[in-house]
């Protein structure tokens, strides 16, 4: 049986090589290698204070829960500002972006 539990402190931060994503760090806690899911990824991410994730799309749906910080979230032409303990959902193949407002990291 595979391990079904991974703690955030036991997982290494990952980055993306593109300059536009330098403010973004993430830890995948459950995925196809950890827990065996081929269709679901669960993780922890951080956007540096004032950092932005450029408009992009995914082939999969994306659900977010903001633990701390403030965010400006854009889906298509709609933009909303969210605070901690808020959530956002991005459908597959729909352009979206995220910006951490203020100096506090967005988690």
Domains and CATH numbers, the chain: 12-101 (2.60.120.10)
Confirm if 100 and 47 have CB atoms less than 8 A apart: yes
Query: Tens of pLDDT along 18-68?
Result: 999 999 999 988 887 887 777 778 899 999 999 999 999 988 889 999 999
Cα 32 versus chain centre, distance: 18
pTM of the model: 0.86
Burial class (CB in 10 A: 0-12, 13-18, 19+), 73: buried
* Enclosing H/E stretch for 64: strand 62-66
Q: What percent of the chain has pLDDT over 70?
A: 97
Q: How many whole angstroms separate alpha carbon 75 and alpha carbon 98?
A: 9
């Amino acid at each position: 049986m595979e391990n079904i539990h991974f703690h955030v402190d036991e997982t290494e931060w990952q980055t993306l090589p593109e300059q536009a994503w330098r403010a973004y760090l993430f830890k995948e806690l459950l995925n196809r290698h950890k827990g065996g899911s081929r269709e679901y990824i669960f993780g922890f991410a951080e956007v540096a204070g004032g950092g932005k994730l450029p408009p992009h799309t995914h082939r999969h749906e994306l659900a977010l829960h903001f633990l701390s910080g403030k965010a400006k979230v854009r889906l298509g032409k709609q933009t909303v500002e969210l605070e901690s303990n808020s959530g956002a959902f991005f459908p597959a193949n729909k352009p979206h972006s995220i910006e951490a407002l203020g100096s506090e990291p967005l988690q």
